[in-house]
Structure 1
Amino acid sequence: MIHIPKLRKVKLISIFLLIFFGAFLRFYNLNFDDLWSDEMISFWLSNPTYSFSETLKLIFESNLMISFEVILKNFHKLFGYNVHVSRYLNAFISVFSVILFVELLRKNSVNINTVLFGTFLLALNIFHIRYAMELRSYTLTFFLALILINLLFKDQYLKKDITHLDYFLIILSSLLMLFCHPFSIIIILSLNFYILCLWVLKKNNNSNLKKIFFLNTFVVIFFLFFYLRGISHTPYWIKQLDLSFFTNYFFSSFFGSRLIGGVYLIALIYLLTKSLKEMINKANINFFFLILIFFTYSLPAFYGFIFDPILINRYIIFVLIPILFLISNLAFENKNNLTKNILVSLILILTFFNHFTENTFKQFYTEIYPSKPQVKKSLEIINNSKTLSYSVLLDDNNERNINTIYENYLTNYSKKLKFDLNFVNYLNKKTLPDDLWIIHIRDITEIDFKKPDNFLEYTIKEKKYLNRLELYKLKKNDT
């Protein structure tokens, strides 16, 4: 029987409990908010009634996040196409990500305190929790990035004993990651730059390095062949980076507030400054993560200054991996016990108590309010009225299938609630009901509600505002 020292056993149990607590925060009240427009797109693309070829065609026309939409489609096949089922996929993936992060720390640090600290930081990270509860590809991108890094690194260096199965899994996880979100190309480019540094700094000509470098290059070229042919636009709503970005680097979003983000940022800069020379000399995983952080910010920012802005916080969610790993690892490599204890204690306290300002904890002791369009409440209002016909404010051109996306979500939600409502696509109908409700979803548009031309002879009888959703009751004028 293996003997585990009592203190180590306590810490191992603590790691397990932190994973469990993190899972609880991700699953509890998972569907408190209804889906917002971007999530509705994923819900529509993953409709299991579409054939595989139809799904791929729609994905190429929409967002090119093939991996996530196809996995979600199969998840729906297994567990049902239900508006309250979909988000469970990301919640599970998020929990598995915490477990994979624990494994990464375990394999690449010598101190169990590092593992315990790192587990706490990711399990309770507000940004990671927030996107575990959203039906988008970012959580899966994070998970696939962790798979890839775990496959490549052990004992703080690139593995020397990489098997044929490992190479296959590296290629597979790289492709899935790239086709989950294009920003993950930064991880591959960072890895290749790291290998180039090993060749130059360490004169390391290991054959495995050459294989990984050329496999990565092939994977990137393969991805770009499809991506550059499929991409149709740059999001118009992303703003150019301003000066405040360079004082924060999204840390306020990543860690809950400007104060706490500032503490994390100062801690990271302090730890990197103290360890920089050693990191470069060793050229280990810490050095790779430093490269990854640098490229994650610099490449999209540089592109944005030359062409169109493309950098927003959720696109680079994977940068939490190097940030949290380096803070965890370098904090316990610090030989100054006083500084180490103050730094670790401050981060632990701020991270935990920040949740009392977030819905994660507030939901247990006070009323919380939806942050996304209140679709369920709008359908309940319609169902409780005498007017059971409804529609959504439709786009005359059905740009990017937005009308179909909204109709799909609303009709499926109505079915889930067992409401006998009549959705009216007024663009395709000559005869319209004398009265009906129109839902105007405002989360991705600044356009104010205007009566469609089909309803010029109608009067607005009621208006309701439901958190970035407006509900209008229209009645035909008496003739």
Structure 2
Amino acid sequence: MFTKIEITHRTWLYLGLITAFLLRIFNLNYEGLWNDELFTAFSANPSTSLGYTINFVGGDVHPPLHNILSKYWAENFGYTDTSLRMLNVILGVIGVLSVYHVAKLLISKRVAIIALWLAVVNSFLIEYSQEVRAYILLFVLANYSYYFFIKFIRSPKDSKSLLYYIIITAAALYTHYFALFIMVSQGVTLLFVMDYGKLKKLFGRYILLFAGPLVLFVPWMPYFFRHMQQPFVWIQKAEWSMIFSFPQAFFNDLLLGTLVVLLLLLLLVYFLTRRIKTIKVLENAFKEHYNALLILVLWILIYFGVPFARSFISTSNMNDRYFIAIICPLLIVVAYFISLFRHRKIQNTAILLVLMYSLLTIALNTQPYKDNKGMYRDIVAEATEIEATTPILYLTARTRNFDYYLKQAKFRQLRRRVVDFDKFIEENQPEEYVVFIDLHHKIYQLDKVLDEDKLTYSGYELIQMKEKKNINNIKTARMLHYKKSKDSL
């Protein structure tokens, strides 16, 4: 007879982390880097200086920490798609562990292990653990910022937690400006949960709690104020439907997203009606972990609500990936509700159903990758048989889009201006040349250049043309290969 096998809590934890890693490396290089990822890759070039990276990122609209980490990573582990993405894969696994730590600190080990497994299969976290951008780092730092914030408010004399909070929150500010909303939500939370009887005694430490990260952020302030003047033209306008559509994006499913919103509404009903009328069933479910649930709800409401409200009266900030920092409290809320099933078999069945359904939503998603990306890696791969010394002209409104992959392919004669290429061809008369054209981010008057056939030089003929389409069947890149015509030889 088989004996009953008991799997320990620690084993479930390690299995979860291993599964998280496997899900995040699966199909890691299915597609090449898309436009924003190429910005990170361009800034992380190990052949450039740290000062160059900082100044280059300063010309964009985000702070530089992830780009700096990517640069040092590339210097030590290689400058390729796989290497750059592996940094975020590792951050993604740490992010899963951070969900466990926050849930365990707030509620219990049981809720923590459920929340961890929900994070393991969360498609939004998987996607941004594979993307060479800063969002998964923001997720990790936001979670640990809250972790040490909670430890501090429980024990305000804990200087170690205060120091860790300041350092991690400052790092979050250097990762993404939405970390400011983390601090705002924590400030509001402090007003609800702190011991006002000890306010006078602890006032200085509370001031240090929030002033510390801002002081460390001062060196980047000139860039910050400059970035705030930028028109965020790619950001969609705020709509009330985002209250439902964002959770649906976070869970990759209408049903799961709507369920999460309903669970949050139930908690809101409890908090808003508790002092007016006690609803016994809600009181029994939530009273034991009242402060923990309040912290989670305020984390979600303030972080989402402040930029949401601001977007109606000023520049919109509503992009779902900017709100990755509220996925942790959302997962913990779902895990808590699952834990309310008293019968362990029912609870385990609920966990299994949610996990299997989450995996199913990933498997059935027909467009799991970027739908607006340019096929830069794919079009450059068409030139692998061409000599590395062949002159290359690449026409794009964003230099990085081709520069990264052309240098990966070891091409050395690169030019991105037609006038410079004209001069080179006239002076050197090479046997062949290749032109790459970005049809996604077009150069000024590209159509005129093509219509007037300015890319075909006297004595050369087009021998090959290749085009690549993205998953929306939109042409995004073209390669033109020219050689000297027989008449000119």
TM-score bracket relative to the smaller structure: 0.7 to 0.9
Q: Deviations over 1:44-74 (max 9, x none)?
A: 1122222222222222112332211111111
How far apart are the structure 2 equivalents of 1:24 and 1:209? 46
Corresponding letter in the other structure for 1:289: L
How far apart are the structure 2 equivalents of 1:451 and 1:318? 45
Q: Deviations over 1:263-308 (max 9, x none)?
A: 3322333355456646799762321221121122221122211122
Kindly indicate whether the alpha-carbon contact (under 8 Å) linking 1:392 and 1:406 is maintained by their aligned counterparts in 2: no
Q: Deviations over 1:378-402 (max 9, x none)?
A: 122223469954333233xxxxxx3
| Structure 1 residue 462 displacement after superposition | 3.0
Assess, with a 3 A threshold, how the Cα gap between structure 1 residues 101 and 306 changes in structure 2: closer, same or farther: same
Q: Pick the aligned partner of 2:312 from 274, 297, 305.
A: 305
Assess, with a 3 A threshold, how the Cα gap between structure 1 residues 451 and 92 changes in structure 2: closer, same or farther: farther
| Structure 1 residue 10 displacement after superposition | 3.4
Corresponding residue for 1:130? Answer: 127
Assess, with a 3 A threshold, how the Cα gap between structure 1 residues 340 and 29 changes in structure 2: closer, same or farther: closer
| Structure 1 residue 475 displacement after superposition | 5.2
Report matched runs for 1:448-459 at 5 Å.
450=447, 452=449, 456-458=453-455
How far apart are the structure 2 equivalents of 1:160 and 1:240? 41
What SS is found at the alignment partner of 2:27?
coil
Q: Deviations over 1:134-185 (max 9, x none)?
A: 000001111111221222325xx83316543332222111111011000111
* 2:161 corresponds to 1:166: yes
* 2:380 corresponds to 1:379: yes
Kindly indicate whether the alpha-carbon contact (under 8 Å) linking 2:121 and 2:355 is maintained by their aligned counterparts in 1: no
Kindly indicate whether the alpha-carbon contact (under 8 Å) linking 1:414 and 1:421 is maintained by their aligned counterparts in 2: no
Corresponding residue for 1:391? Answer: 393
Assess, with a 3 A threshold, how the Cα gap between structure 1 residues 66 and 208 changes in structure 2: closer, same or farther: farther
What SS is found at the alignment partner of 1:438?
strand
Corresponding letter in the other structure for 2:332: F
How far apart are the structure 2 equivalents of 1:297 and 1:291? 10
Q: Pick the aligned partner of 1:139 from 124, 136, 141.
A: 136
| Structure 1 residue 338 displacement after superposition | 11
What SS is found at the alignment partner of 1:62?
coil
Corresponding residue for 1:253? Answer: 249
How far apart are the structure 1 equivalents of 2:149 and 2:453? 63
How far apart are the structure 2 equivalents of 1:370 and 1:242? 22
Corresponding residue for 1:398? Answer: none
Corresponding residue for 1:215? Answer: 209
Assess, with a 3 A threshold, how the Cα gap between structure 1 residues 385 and 288 changes in structure 2: closer, same or farther: same
Corresponding residue for 2:59? Answer: 61
Corresponding residue for 2:106? Answer: 108
* 2:364 corresponds to 1:357: yes
Corresponding residue for 1:12? Answer: 10
Corresponding letter in the other structure for 1:25: L
Corresponding residue for 2:116? Answer: 119
Kindly indicate whether the alpha-carbon contact (under 8 Å) linking 1:105 and 1:118 is maintained by their aligned counterparts in 2: yes
How far apart are the structure 1 equivalents of 2:101 and 2:451? 59
What SS is found at the alignment partner of 1:78?
helix
Corresponding residue for 2:279? Answer: none
Assess, with a 3 A threshold, how the Cα gap between structure 1 residues 210 and 284 changes in structure 2: closer, same or farther: farther
Alignment TM-score, normalising by the size of structure 2? 0.80
* 2:333 corresponds to 1:326: yes
Corresponding residue for 1:184? Answer: 179
Corresponding residue for 1:287? Answer: 294
Corresponding residue for 1:194? Answer: 189
Corresponding letter in the other structure for 2:107: S
Report matched runs for 1:422-461 at 5 Å.
422-427=413-418, 428-429=420-421, 430-432=423-425, 435-440=433-438, 442=440, 450=447, 452=449, 456-458=453-455
Max Rg structure? 2
| Structure 1 residue 251 displacement after superposition | 1.4
Assess, with a 3 A threshold, how the Cα gap between structure 1 residues 392 and 152 changes in structure 2: closer, same or farther: same
| Structure 1 residue 40 displacement after superposition | 0.7
Q: Pick the aligned partner of 2:149 from 139, 147, 152.
A: 152
Kindly indicate whether the alpha-carbon contact (under 8 Å) linking 1:392 and 1:438 is maintained by their aligned counterparts in 2: yes
Corresponding residue for 1:399? Answer: none
Assess, with a 3 A threshold, how the Cα gap between structure 1 residues 283 and 228 changes in structure 2: closer, same or farther: farther
Bigger shift: residues 315-324 or 144-153: 144-153
| Structure 1 residue 447 displacement after superposition | 9.0
Kindly indicate whether the alpha-carbon contact (under 8 Å) linking 1:253 and 1:313 is maintained by their aligned counterparts in 2: yes
Corresponding letter in the other structure for 2:205: K
What SS is found at the alignment partner of 1:392?
strand
How far apart are the structure 2 equivalents of 1:472 and 1:55? 30
Assess, with a 3 A threshold, how the Cα gap between structure 1 residues 196 and 272 changes in structure 2: closer, same or farther: closer
Assess, with a 3 A threshold, how the Cα gap between structure 1 residues 445 and 274 changes in structure 2: closer, same or farther: farther
Q: Which runs of 5+ in 2 are unaligned?
A: 275-282, 457-461
Kindly indicate whether the alpha-carbon contact (under 8 Å) linking 2:123 and 2:252 is maintained by their aligned counterparts in 1: yes
Q: Deviations over 1:234-261 (max 9, x none)?
A: 3212121234324x14112111122332
Q: Deviations over 1:422-457 (max 9, x none)?
A: 433234332336753323152x67999625389743
Bigger shift: residues 27-36 or 261-270: 261-270
Corresponding residue for 1:471? Answer: 478
Question: Root-mean-square deviation (CA), in Å?
Answer: 3.7
Corresponding letter in the other structure for 1:215: L
Assess, with a 3 A threshold, how the Cα gap between structure 1 residues 223 and 334 changes in structure 2: closer, same or farther: farther
How far apart are the structure 2 equivalents of 1:120 and 1:354? 16
Kindly indicate whether the alpha-carbon contact (under 8 Å) linking 2:141 and 2:171 is maintained by their aligned counterparts in 1: yes
How far apart are the structure 1 equivalents of 2:14 and 2:216? 40
| Structure 1 residue 346 displacement after superposition | 4.9
Q: Deviations over 1:73-108 (max 9, x none)?
A: 111122122333111111001101111221222222
Kindly indicate whether the alpha-carbon contact (under 8 Å) linking 1:82 and 1:412 is maintained by their aligned counterparts in 2: no
Bigger shift: residues 452-461 or 88-97: 452-461
Kindly indicate whether the alpha-carbon contact (under 8 Å) linking 1:240 and 1:309 is maintained by their aligned counterparts in 2: yes
